[in-house]
C-alpha cells in the first residue's frame, strides 16, 4: 500500500509542510524510519529523533515548533497519535483483506452465510449457524451449531465459538480463545464426589468487542454470560458462567472473574486481578494489578488496590508504612532497650533509697 503526502493530508485534514509527492509504503517508529516510512511525534521526549529521522513523512501536532532544520516532510494535525492510529488501521486492513472460501473447509448447508466473507482452510461452520457480511474466519476456527457471528467480525485461527453463542458486529477474537465452554458447575455428593451441573445457557458478546488470545468465556448455567459493547479483553483472561462485563470496560491479562459477578461500565482492571463470585462492581471502578476483590463495590469511579482490595489512597499509605517496617522495627527495639535502662535505673534508686 502506497500513499502520497498530499493524500495523507487530505485523509487526516492536516497541514502539509514539505514534499507533497513524498510516498510512504509502511509505518515505523520515528527512530527507525526509512525513506518510505510514515512516523509520528506525540511525546516531546522523542523530539530529538525528528531532526535525524530518515522517515519520509512525520505527523506532528499543530503547535510543533522545530528547533533545527528538518529533512522530512511534516503533516500537522490536532492529535498525531490518533492520526497515526487511523493510518495504521488502513495498512492493517490492507494486509488482512481476504475473501473467499478455502478448501478443505466445512460450512453446513443449513448455515446462513453473508456476502464477502472469508473462511480459511480447515474451518468449520455448524448447523443453522449465521455468518454476517464481511466476516473473516481464519483457518482451524470453529463456529458451532446455531451460533451467530455479526457483520465485519474477525475470528482468528483456532478460535472456538461453541453452539448457541452470539458474537456481535465489528468484533475481533484472537487465536486460541474459547467462547462458550462449560461453566465450572459441580454439585458435591455425599460420597465426596462431584456431579456435573448442565450448563444450558450461552455467551452473548455485543458489538465492537476485542478479545485477546487464549481467553476462556464460559457459557451460563442458565441465561447468558454477557460481554457488553466496546469491552476490550487482553490475553489469558478467564470469565466464568453468568458474568456480566459492562460497556467499554478494559481488562488486562491473567485476570479471573468468578461466576455471576457483574462489572459496571468503564471499569479498568489491571493484570492478574481476581474477583470473587456473586458480587457487583460499580461503574468506573479501577483496580491495580494483582488486586483481590472479595466483596461488592458500590461507590463509582474510585481506585482500588491490594488483596483484599482497599481504596487506592489508603493502600498507598499502607504500602509507605510497610516499606518503613524494618526501620520502625529497629526504632522500636532501641526504644525498648532505652525503656529497660530507665526502669533499671528507677529500680536501683528505689532499692538504694
> Would you name the residues annotated as active-site residues?
241
Measured CA distances, 209 to 13, 135, 205, 290, 335 (Å): 28, 14, 7, 24, 59
Dist. CA 221–CA 54, nearest whole Å? 58
Dist. CA 117–CA 274, nearest whole Å? 38
Dist. CA 194–CA 72, nearest whole Å? 68
Q: Which helix (H) or strand (E) holds 305?
A: strand 303-305
The per-residue b/e assignment along 202-230, b for 16 or more CB within 10 angstroms, e otherwise, is: bbbbbbbbbbbbebbbbbbbeebbbbbbb
The candidate with the shortest Cα–Cα distance to 233, out of 254, 218, 260, is: 254
Per DSSP, the residues of 234-303 read: -SS-EE-TT-EE-TT-EE-TT-EE-TT-EE-TT-EE-TT-EE-SS-EE-TT-EE-TT-EE-S-B-SSS-E
Which residues have CB under 8 Å from 172's CB, separation 6+? Answer: 153, 154, 156, 209, 210, 211
Q: Which helix (H) or strand (E) holds 320?
A: helix 312-323
| Angle at alpha carbon of residue 268, lines to 250 and 211, rounded to 5° | 15
The single-letter DSSP state of residue 49 is G
Dist. CA 87–CA 15, nearest whole Å? 16
Kindly report the number of other CB atoms within 10 A of residue 13's CB atom. Answer: 10
Dist. CA 244–CA 203, nearest whole Å? 10
Amino acid at each position: 500500500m502506497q500513499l502520497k503526502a498530499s493524500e495523507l493530508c487530505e485523509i487526516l485534514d492536516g497541514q502539509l509542510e514539505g514534499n507533497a509527492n513524498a510516498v510512504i509504503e509502511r509505518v515505523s517508529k520515528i527512530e527507525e524510519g526509512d525513506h518510505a516510512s510514515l512516523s509520528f511525534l506525540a511525546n516531546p521526549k522523542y523530539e530529538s529523533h525528528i531532526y535525524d529521522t530518515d522517515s519520509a513523512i512525520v505527523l506532528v501536532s499543530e503547535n510543533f515548533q522545530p528547533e533545527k532544520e528538518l529533512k522530512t516532510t511534516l503533516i500537522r494535525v490536532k492529535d498525531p497519535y490518533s492520526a497515526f492510529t487511523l493510518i495504521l488501521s488502513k495498512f492493517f486492513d490492507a494486509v488482512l483483506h481476504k475473501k473467499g472460501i478455502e478448501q478443505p473447509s466445512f460450512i453446513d448447508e443449513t448455515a446462513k452465510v453473508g456476502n464477502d466473507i472469508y473462511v480459511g482452510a480447515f474451518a468449520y461452520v455448524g448447523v443453522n449457524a449465521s455468518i454476517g457480511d464481511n466476516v473473516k474466519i481464519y483457518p482451524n476456527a470453529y463456529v458451532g451449531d446455531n451460533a451467530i457471528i455479526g457483520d465485519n467480525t474477525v475470528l482468528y485461527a483456532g478460535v472456538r465459538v461453541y453452539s448457541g453463542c452470539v458474537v456481535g458486529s465489528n468484533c475481533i477474537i484472537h487465536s486460541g480463545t474459547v467462547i462458550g465452554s462449560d461453566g465450572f458447575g459441580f454439585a458435591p455428593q455425599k460420597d465426596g464426589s462431584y456431579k456435573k451441573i448442565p450448563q444450558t445457557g450461552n455467551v452473548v458478546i455485543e458489538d465492537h468487542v476485542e478479545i485477546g488470545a487464549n481467553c476462556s468465556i464460559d457459557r451460563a448455567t442458565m441465561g447468558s454470560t454477557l460481554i457488553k459493547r466496546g469491552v476490550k479483553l487482553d490475553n489469558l483472561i478467564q470469565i466464568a458462567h453468568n458474568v456480566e462485563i459492562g460497556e467499554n470496560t478494559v481488562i488486562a491479562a491473567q485476570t479471573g472473574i468468578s461466576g455471576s459477578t457483574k462489572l459496571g461500565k468503564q471499569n479498568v482492571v489491571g493484570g492478574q486481578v481476581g474477583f470473587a463470585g456473586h458480587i457487583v462492581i460499580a461503574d468506573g471502578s479501577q483496580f491495580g494489578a494483582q488486586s483481590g476483590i472479595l466483596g461488592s463495590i458500590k461507590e463509582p469511579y474510585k481506585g482500588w488496590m491490594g488483596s483484599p482490595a482497599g481504596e487506592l489512597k489508603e493502600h498507598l499509605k499502607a504500602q509507605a508504612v510497610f516499606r518503613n517496617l524494618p526501620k520502625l522495627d529497629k526504632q522500636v527495639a532501641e526504644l525498648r532497650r532505652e525503656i529497660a535502662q530507665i526502669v533499671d535505673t528507677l529500680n536501683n534508686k528505689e532499692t538504694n533509697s
